[in-house]
Amino acid sequence: MASWHSADSRYFAFILLCLICANQALFPLGAREARAPREPNKDEIREYQAVIIGVIRLVGNEPFTTLVITTADETDYIISETTEARRILHDMQGMRVKVEGRVEESDVFAGEDKYLGKTRVIFPEKYPGSP
């Protein structure tokens, strides 16, 4: 009976050793903290006047929707939420329109070094229904 107890103890010790080693190997994977997305500084934001022709679309899921104008080459321009034009253009979803205004373009990064693309925000000055 002593030999059975000895084999059981060795089995338990082996399992315990495996769990400790697995925990040590996986610990560094969870220890790395995620870096917050980097906000562009004012030097990285490019501003220019543009005439954009495209389709008005509402993208995203409620309550986080964004109104965009998508050009023929599938470039999205976010329509600024701070403008009166947004309310008028919101009712024109699915329509092809011409919008003139100031565009702010900046690069988007995840963390410090992973480049995700560009974001373009248009502040409409002339659009269908504008005075």
Compare 11 and 125 and report the one with higher pLDDT. 125
Beta bridge partners, 100, equal: 51, 126
Q: Quick: pLDDT tens for 89-108.
A: 999 999 999 999 999 999 88
How is residue 44 written in tokens?
């990285």
pLDDT band at 79 (very low <50, low <70, confident <90, very high): very high
CATH class of 42-126: mainly beta
Three-state secondary structure call for residue 34: coil
Give the integer Cα–Cα distance in Å for 70 and 53: 8
Give the integer Cα–Cα distance in Å for 21 and 128: 66
How is residue 22 written in tokens?
């697995």
Query: Which pLDDT score, from 0 to 100, does residue 6 have?
Result: 62
Hey, where are the domains in the chain? Answer: 1-32, 42-126
The residue type found at 22 is A
Give the integer Cα–Cα distance in Å for 67 and 89: 8
Q: Quick: pLDDT tens for 2-37.
A: 555 566 777 777 776 666 666 655 555 544 555 555
On whether the CB atoms of residues 90 and 129 are closer than 8 A, the answer is no
